Amino acid sequence: MKHDSQIVGNIGLYYACYKLSLLGWNAMPTSRNARGVDILAYNRDASRVVSIQVKALSRRDPVPMGTSLDKIMGDYWIVLSNVGKEPAAYILKAEEVMKLAHPENKDGRVSYWLEPRSYESEDFREAWGRIGSSE
């Protein structure tokens, strides 16, 4: 079954919250389609807070990042591919995303992409431990 982009985004967002909850985080989705991070996660006493950007894909695709890297925010990025079937998660720090971003110049306009060959590193694959447990 093919899902539209809104459903793919929802699947990715709630899947990421589920996985973070298993690590002991209180994972709260933010307002959908608002500028900013997608998830705020905090430990039991709120002494540790992480902000997360989620990029959900229905298949193995590049992640569109827009025309400027200035819009990259959050502590971590979670790229989820194949979310409608068997999601594969890639956990990157925001600074790694900026470093791995690939510029593409088309008709004088630059846009940035995170290519699968960049985010599919074994260092990032299912690396939920990079975020850590809430303890």
- What is the domain partition of the chain in residue ranges? 5-130
Residue 57: count other Cβ atoms within 10 Å of its Cβ: 23
Q: What is the pLDDT at residue 39?
A: 96
Write down the CATH number for the domain with range 5-130. Answer: 3.40.1350.10
Q: What is the pLDDT at residue 36?
A: 83
Residue segments in the chain with a per-residue pLDDT below the cut of 50: none
Q: State the residue for tokens 């539209």.
A: 4
Q: What is the pLDDT at residue 135?
A: 72
Half-sphere exposure of 2 (CA within 13 A, CB side): 1
